Amino acid sequence: MSDTKKFTDSEKLLGEVLREEPDFFLSDRFAETVANKMARRFAWNQYIREFFIYLAAIFGIAALSAGIALIWLDVNWQAWWSFLLYNVSWVAGLNILVVFILFVDRVLLRYFSYKLSQH
C-alpha cells in the first residue's frame, strides 16, 4: 500500500515539475557537447585497455619464451641472471623505451588522430 502511495506522490511531483518552466536553459550544442565528452572518455578507456592488453601479451610471450628456454633447452639460468643484474641499467632502459613506444603507438597517436577527426 505504501509503495503505491509513493508511486503516486512521485508522479504528482514529476507532473508539477514538467508543467513549470525551468529556471535554467541548456545551450543549443548541449547534446553535441555531452556526446563528444562521452566519445572522448570511451576512446580513452578503449585505448588504455588495449595498451594494457598488448603489454600483458608481450610480458606473457617473454615469460613463456624464458620458461621454454630454461626448461626445454636446458639453459643456465644463473648465467642469464648475472647478465641481467650486471646490465640492469640497459635492461631497464630498453624495457622503459619499449613500454613508452607501445604507449605512444597504442594510446597517444590514436587518441590525437581521433581528436583531429572530430574537429
Confidence class for position 59, pLDDT limits 50, 70, 90: very high
What is the rounded average pLDDT of the residues 4-18?
Answer: 75
Q: What pLDDT is attached to residue 1? A: 47
Q: Rounded to an integer, what distance in angstroms lies between the CA atom of residue 23 and that of residue 19?
A: 12
pLDDT digits (tens, 9 = 90+) for 74-116: 778 888 889 889 999 999 999 999 999 999 988 888 888 877 8
Q: What pLDDT is attached to residue 22? A: 77
Q: Which residue, 92, 119, 114, is CA-closest to 45?
A: 114
Q: Rounded to an integer, what distance in angstroms lies between the CA atom of residue 60 and that of residue 53?
A: 10
Residues in CB range of 84: below 8 A, 6 or more apart: 91
